[in-house]
């Protein structure tokens, strides 16, 4: 393979194929190039039937990052890979197994690895509350370091943005109490479906110059605080939505939904993001890659207005 061009990837492996990025990616690849063979990975046996129904021409396999033989079977005779790991993954073990599996298969041409990290961030600045665990600021640099050292042909697509579909969770406080309860911090945004399209375009492209690169993604338009999200929500849904960023309200409302450990971890993570929010810069990488403007927060909210409006009584919202 030359330094600037790569051959067609005849078989592409998609991890997390039933998820909010993996599934749209499988759909995109199926529609864009029906000749590409897809191997879809899920770690849950109960999801196999649904994936096979949605993608009848694809091969669906069960594999686990911590079960090396299953990874070796999944990696056999694939040329392209979309690699995503669940939150709180032990990346040291998971990526060590990934490297072993793909070096054994010796067929991979291009791996797309999704990350979520502050670029060039000094790990010594990670606060104590986030160290020693499975948080993104700790685990994703570990994943990158292992893949860098492996020599595998990896492109990193870094989500320097909040997923817009997190609003399906964040709307719950508006539905229940008439106000948006969420820790304040300023962050860029991106639709996960646009991430899927970025990955698909890079995998189908014959341009090898992306191999070895680290691309940070956002929609190029929205770098917003959540008090601004509350205003946009109100505009789209048709009423005033007060905003509450207090820790007390966040813990009270979300602990019954997510559990105390997760809520505590999320609070510390969002305050960490707030303390480092100046590192983000809106860019046009996604637009250049997919050939159109990425979805904005307002456009996403309009698209999902009916689902988000369920149970709302905004005319009676209270602070």
Per-residue pLDDT of the chain in tens (319 residues, 90 and over written 9): 667 899 999 999 999 999 999 999 999 999 999 999 999 999 999 999 999 999 999 999 999 999 999 999 999 999 999 999 998 899 999 999 999 999 999 999 999 999 999 888 888 888 888 877 778 888 999 999 999 999 999 999 999 999 999 999 999 999 999 999 999 999 999 999 999 999 999 999 999 999 999 999 999 999 999 999 999 999 999 999 999 999 999 999 999 999 999 999 999 999 999 999 999 999 999 999 999 999 999 999 999 999 999 877 665 444 3
Question: Among 3.40.50.720, 1.20.970.10, 3.30.2020.10, 1.20.120.1200, what is the CATH number of 11-163+189-217?
Answer: 3.40.50.720
170-207 per-residue burial string, b: 16 or more CB within 10 A, e: under 16 = bbbbbeebbbbbbbebebbbbbbbbbbbbbbbbbbeee
pTM of the model: 0.94
Quote the CA–CA distance of 106 and 100 in Å, as a whole number.
10
In 3D space, the residue among 318, 166, 172 whose CA is nearest the CA of residue 241 turns out to be 318
Q: Which residues contact 282 (CB under 8 A, 6 or more apart)?
A: 188, 218, 219, 220, 221, 222, 223
Q: What residue ranges do the domains of the chain occupy?
A: 11-163+189-217
In 3D space, the residue among 73, 164, 85, 131 whose CA is nearest the CA of residue 269 turns out to be 131
User: Residue 297: exposed, middle, or buried by beta-carbon count in 10 A (0-12, 13-18, 19+)?
Assistant: buried
């Amino acid at each position: 393979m030359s330094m600037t061009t790569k051959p067609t990837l005849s078989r592409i492996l998609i991890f997390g194929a039933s998820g909010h990025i993996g599934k749209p990616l499988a759909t995109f690849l199926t529609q864009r190039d029906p000749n590409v063979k897809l191997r879809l990975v899920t770690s849950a046996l109960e999801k196999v039937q649904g994936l096979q129904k949605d993608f009848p021409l694809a091969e669906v396999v069960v594999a686990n990052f911590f079960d090396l033989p299953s990874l070796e079977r999944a990696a056999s005779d694939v040329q392209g890979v979309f690699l995503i790991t669940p939150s709180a993954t032990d990346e040291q073990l998971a990526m060590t197994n990934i490297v072993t599996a793909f070096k054994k298969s010796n067929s991979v041409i291009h791996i797309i690895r999704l990350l979520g990290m502050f670029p060039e961030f000094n790990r010594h600045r990670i606060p104590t509350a986030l160290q020693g665990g499975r948080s993104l600021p700790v685990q994703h640099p570990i994943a990158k370091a292992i893949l860098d050292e492996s020599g595998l042909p990896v492109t990193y697509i870094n989500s320097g943005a909040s997923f817009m579909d997190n609003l399906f969770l964040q709307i719950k406080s508006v539905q229940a109490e008439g106000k948006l309860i969420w820790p304040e911090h300023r962050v860029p945004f991106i639709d996960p479906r646009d991430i899927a399209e970025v990955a698909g375009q890079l995998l189908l492209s014959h341009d090898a110059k992306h191999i070895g690169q680290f691309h940070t993604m956002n929609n190029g338009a929205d770098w917003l605080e959540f008090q601004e999200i509350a205003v946009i929500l109100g505009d789209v849904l048709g009423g005033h939505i007060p905003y509450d960023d207090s820790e007390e309200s966040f813990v009270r409302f979300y602990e019954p939904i997510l559990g105390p450990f997760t809520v505590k971890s999320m609070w510390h993570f969002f305050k960490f993001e707030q303390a480092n929010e100046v590192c983000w810069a809106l860019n046009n990488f996604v637009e250049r890659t997919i050939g159109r403007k990425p979805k904005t927060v307002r456009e996403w909210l309009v698209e999902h207005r009916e689902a988000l409006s369920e149970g709302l009584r905004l005319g009676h919202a209270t602070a």
